[in-house]
């Protein structure tokens, strides 16, 4: 206890150097812990995005491309799936349910998804949780829309508000479907998935707003169809972007996957979401590991700074050590004193780093949710986090052993004969 008090007073006498060393360790610990929590949140976000879906079917391209545009709303399909093919697969006896997905339009930077009511019945996330409504209900009228939580929050929408869908993607569009506005009838509860950043409409609605468009261009004034006239027309889509499949028995999944991939009438690809997610994470994991290594080297740099500060101060403190020896302190007491100082600096730096990390998480959380869809839950320190922090303190103690050993070897006479 006396050694601890003495070490604390010694650091207080050199508070400028001690505070700078502590700050360097705190910043490096905050970076390491922040990277760890971000990578954990990203991994959980990937895993929780969709569950209970046995197959995703789309135009033949690649597993990751199909997964990204159908689940994460990233990128675009190389081609569409015909409505006839979709109905054939949906009508199979081994298929329990399907969810059609039609993408391509947007609203102020958010993707618009055309689907049907099966989406709200069967879509699951985070290990089987159902979609629930924060307020309102699913679309019933042709021009009804259901918003994800993030869309409603960022754009300030409430039930009954009108919205206009833009043709194509992008935050700014010069081709809007302003002649067929939609009305907000539902806002989904937050899910922490791309659902939160999606505007949902019916498949028939997407057909209606494009009924007078050809090759991406709106018809001339004489050939345009107004919103009410569109209601009376045949609005069954001719194609969709992709669809999700739930099997009656999961044992049959591979049989259907093979049948879809070998389908001769159309070039299709069926993927198992879990397999594609693993492939995606393995790809992203390379950058994830690189970030963790960089953060670890930053921590090492902080500890080396501590070691440098202690070593640099040794010559200035040789008389201090000699005086301690002269009043009865043994060499082991000097050794323990410097080890304790290193431990105090590391422990203080770790504590400050944890506080800094949680403060940065609180500040950056809205931006990460809005821009990247990463939902950081501060939570508590996990066992892995505690092991990392403990390893940092242990490394500091080991590094502190070097200056402690040098001080240990200084003799009493060496310290007393120094001139001031």
For 40-56, what is each residue's pLDDT tens digit? 777 777 777 888 899 99
What are 16-45's pLDDT values in tens digits? Answer: 888 888 888 899 888 888 888 877 777 777
What residues does each domain of the chain span?
2-46+285-413, 49-279
Contact 84, 238 (CB under 8 A): no
Task: Tell me the percentage of the chain whose pLDDT exceeds 90.
Answer: 37
Among the listed residues 351, 321, 343, the one whose alpha carbon sits nearest the alpha carbon of residue 399: 343
Q: Does residue 336 register a pLDDT over 80? A: no
- Phi then psi for residue 60, to 5 deg, are -65, 120
Q: Which has the closest alpha carbon to 83: 234, 222, 291, 257?
A: 234
Q: What is the pLDDT of residues 398-411, one digit of tens each?
A: 887 877 777 666 64
pLDDT band at 274 (very low <50, low <70, confident <90, very high): confident
Q: What's the rounded Cα separation, in Å, for the pair 203 and 117?
A: 10
Read off the pLDDT band of 417 (50, 70, 90): low
Model confidence band, residue 420 (pLDDT cutoffs 50, 70, 90): very low
2: CB partners within 8 A, 6+ apart: none
Return the structure tokens found at 37.
């929590």
pLDDT tens by residue, 160-209: 999 999 877 665 555 788 888 999 999 999 888 889 999 999 999 999 99
State mean pLDDT over 390-400.
86
Strand bridging mode 95-101 / 242-247: antiparallel
pTM: 0.71
**Crossing angle between the packed helical segments 2-13 and 331-367, to the nearest 10 degrees:** 60
Instruction: Judge whether 6 and 339 are in contact, CB under 8 Å.
Output: no
> How confident is the model at residue 91, as a pLDDT?
94
Torsion, Cα of 51, 55, 60, 62 (10° steps): 40
Q: Is the per-residue pLDDT at 247 higher than 90?
A: yes
Who has greater pLDDT, 197 or 280?
197
> CB–CB of 58/89 below 8 Å?
no
Mean pLDDT of the chain: 83
CA distance 3 to 334: 9
CA angle 338, 344, 348 (to 5 degrees): 155
Among 2-6, 150-154, 172-176, name the one with the lowest average pLDDT.
172-176
For the segment 250-262, what is each residue's pLDDT rounded down to a tens digit?
999 999 999 999 9
Question: Of 148, 122, 126, which Cα lies nearest the Cα of 54?
Answer: 122
Assign residue 12 a region (left: φ > 0; alpha: ψ between -120 and 50; beta: otherwise).
alpha
List the beta bridge partners of residue 74.
none
CA pair distance 305, 373, nearest whole angstrom:
36
């Amino acid at each position: 206890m006396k050694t601890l008090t003495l070490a604390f007073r010694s650091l207080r006498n050199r508070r400028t150097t001690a505070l700078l060393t502590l700050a360097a360790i705190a910043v490096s610990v905050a970076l390491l812990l922040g990277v760890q929590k971000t990578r954990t949140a990203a991994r959980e976000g990937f895993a929780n995005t969709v569950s209970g879906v046995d197959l995703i079917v789309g135009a033949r391209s690649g597993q990751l491309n199909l997964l990204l545009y159908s689940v994460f709303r990233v990128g675009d399909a190389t081609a569409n799936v015909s409505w006839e093919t979709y109905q054939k697969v949906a009508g199979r006896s081994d298929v329990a349910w399907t969810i059609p997905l039609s993408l391509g339009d947007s609203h102020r930077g958010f993707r618009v998804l055309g689907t049907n009511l099966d989406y709200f019945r069967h879509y699951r996330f985070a290990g089987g949780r159902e979609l629930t409504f924060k307020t309102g209900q699913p679309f019933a009228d042709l021009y009804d829309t259901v918003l994800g939580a993030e869309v409603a929050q960022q754009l300030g929408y409430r039930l009954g508000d009108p919205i206009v869908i833009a043709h194509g993607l992008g935050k700014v569009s010069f081709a809007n479907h302003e002649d067929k506005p939609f009305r907000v009838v539902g806002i989904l509860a937050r899910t922490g998935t791309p659902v939160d950043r999606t505007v949902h409409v019916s498949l028939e609605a997407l057909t209606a707003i494009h009924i007078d468009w050809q090759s991406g261009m709106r018809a001339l004034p004489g050939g345009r169809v107004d919103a009410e006239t569109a209601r009376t027309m045949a609005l069954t889509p001719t194609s969709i972007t992709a669809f999700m499949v739930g099997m009656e028995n999961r044992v049959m999944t591979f049989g259907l996957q093979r049948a879809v991939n070998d389908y001769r009438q159309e070039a299709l690809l069926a993927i198992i979401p879990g397999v594609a997610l693993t492939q995606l994470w393995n790809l992203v994991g390379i950058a994830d590991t690189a970030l963790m290594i960089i953060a670890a080297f930053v921590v090492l740099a902080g500890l080396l700074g501590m070691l440098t500060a202690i070593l640099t101060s040794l010559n200035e403190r040789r008389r201090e050590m000699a005086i301690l020896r002269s009043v009865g302190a043994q060499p082991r007491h000097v050794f323990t004193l410097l080890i304790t100082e290193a431990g105090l600096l590391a422990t203080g730096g770790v504590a400050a780093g944890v506080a800094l990390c949680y403060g940065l998480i609180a500040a950056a959380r809205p931006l990460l949710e809005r821009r990247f869809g990463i939902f950081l839950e501060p939570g508590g320190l996990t066992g892995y986090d505690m092991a990392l922090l403990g390893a940092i303190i242990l490394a500091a103690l080991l590094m502190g052993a070097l200056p402690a050993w040098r001080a240990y070897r200084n003799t009493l006479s060496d310290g007393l004969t120094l001139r001031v």
